[in-house]
Amino acid sequence: MGLLSLGIFHTIIGVTAIVAAIISYIKYGKINLAETSGKIYAYSTIITSLTALGISKHGGFNIGHVFSIFILILVVGAYFLFSRKQGNNRNRYIENFLLSFSFFLSWVPTINETFTRVPLGQPLAKGPTDPIIGQTLLVLLVLFIAGSILQFSKQRKINRTVNL
């Protein structure tokens, strides 16, 4: 697979973030920073984004680095909003969106790297422009949009119940 020590560490922490996010979605319907799974997602994603800056498959600064910086900004922004928890429901909508968007964006390099490396010797995709990568990302985009709509409607319902 051609991974160096930093790449292996980055991959392990990245998989940890994905698993933590999925657990949080299953348990809470969102990445919940008040719970362990949400905190693991946030911290692991921050570490993954930072370690990605030291990795370059093709040499030099590239689009993967831009994704990492953007994801880092999203997660740190969400954590900032979470820390200002009380009294502003609008912040909760933004916090949830930032975390969900960071999770979606994390899949772009994940799908690209996985599909161009696995299975060994006969990868699913030849490169980032391979149709299977685009099709998979399109499915994930639809899931992200549908999931965001469900999160917002569930959150609105909870806010109405609390405000009654």
Domains of the chain, by residue range, sit at 5-163
* pTM, 2 dp: 0.89
Q: What is the Cα–Cα distance from 146 to 102, expressed in whole angstroms?
A: 15
Q: Report the chain's mean pLDDT, rounded to a whole number.
A: 90
Residue 159 has pLDDT above 90, yes or no: no
Q: What is the Cα–Cα distance from 89 to 117, expressed in whole angstroms?
A: 43
Residue 102 has pLDDT above 60, yes or no: yes
pLDDT tens string 7-58: 889 999 999 999 999 999 999 999 999 999 999 999 999 999 999 998 876 6
**Burial class (CB within 10 angstroms; exposed 0-12, middle 13-18, buried 19+) of 106:** buried
Q: What is the Cα–Cα distance from 109 to 131, expressed in whole angstroms?
A: 15
pLDDT tens string 87-97: 667 888 999 99
| Percent of the chain's residues with pLDDT above 70 | 93
Q: Give residue 94's pLDDT.
A: 93
